Amino acid sequence: MTGTEPRGNVIYLQEVRGNLAIANESGGNTQHSSAARRPPRRTSPRPLHRKAVRRLTVSAVIAVLTIAALFSFLMPWSGTEEKPPSAAGQADTPPASLPALVLVEEDKPEYIPDAAEVEALAKMLYGEARGVASDTEKAACVWCVLNRVDDPRFPDTVLEVVAAPYQFAGYSADYPVLPELEWIAADVLTRYHEEKSGGDNVGRVLPAEYCFFTGDGERNYFTAEWQGAETWGWTLSSPYDD
């Protein structure tokens, strides 16, 4: 053998199953199992979807915590704000109280005296007091009629009291309605209505118990009883300038 020839014998096998015998330099045969020559088996990697889900969960938790922290920073809770320091030497003053509610009573509708009552009273004044110079005494004649309306001994309406037989001899439905007498009649009716509505000091010039009067053509004399001797002394304040 030349020096270039390989040492040992090499057996070439086209297809070997089982053990492979290889001659080595010592002439011995070494057996290797076919399993030993196989490349190491690679185990398949673990599925990645579990790790991805875990990462997404952690990321979502971190995002929620971050948003909550931002909201708590931008929107301070009640009671957490610090009160501004008071000026030196000055005590904290309580806030001014709210103004009290004031209930404003709605304006009452304007009272308009009944036209028929005004006319009947004006005609009564024409027959009973047109010669009387005092507007206070003229108004007292109207109050006498209204006192009778409130007295159970007499009718309950102005028209019935004025037109009752033998009561106001000076009344006649044919008498004219003079403007100045019409005004006094309407004024007394308005004051009477205010009194009935609970008003005080309405300008009454004749007390409620005076339901009778007699006259001499120039003045009228008012009494609490028929043919009474004591007459009214005009001690109430009068809203009229006599």
Which structural domains are found in the chain, ordered by start? 1-38 (no CATH), 115-223 (1.10.10.2520)
Torsion angles phi and psi, residue 213, rounded to 5? -155, 155
- H/E run at residue 212: strand 212-215
How does pLDDT run across 163-201, given as a tens digit for each residue? 999 888 889 999 999 999 999 999 999 999 999 999 999
State pTM to two decimals: 0.57
CA distance 197 to 67: 69
- Selected residue with higher pLDDT from 199 and 52: 199
The answer to whether 139 and 187 are in contact (CB under 8 A) is yes
Q: Is 8 left (phi over 0), alpha (psi -120 to 50) or beta?
A: left
Amino acid at 106: E
| Predicted pLDDT of residue 228 | 85
- Decide: helix, strand or coil at residue 84: coil
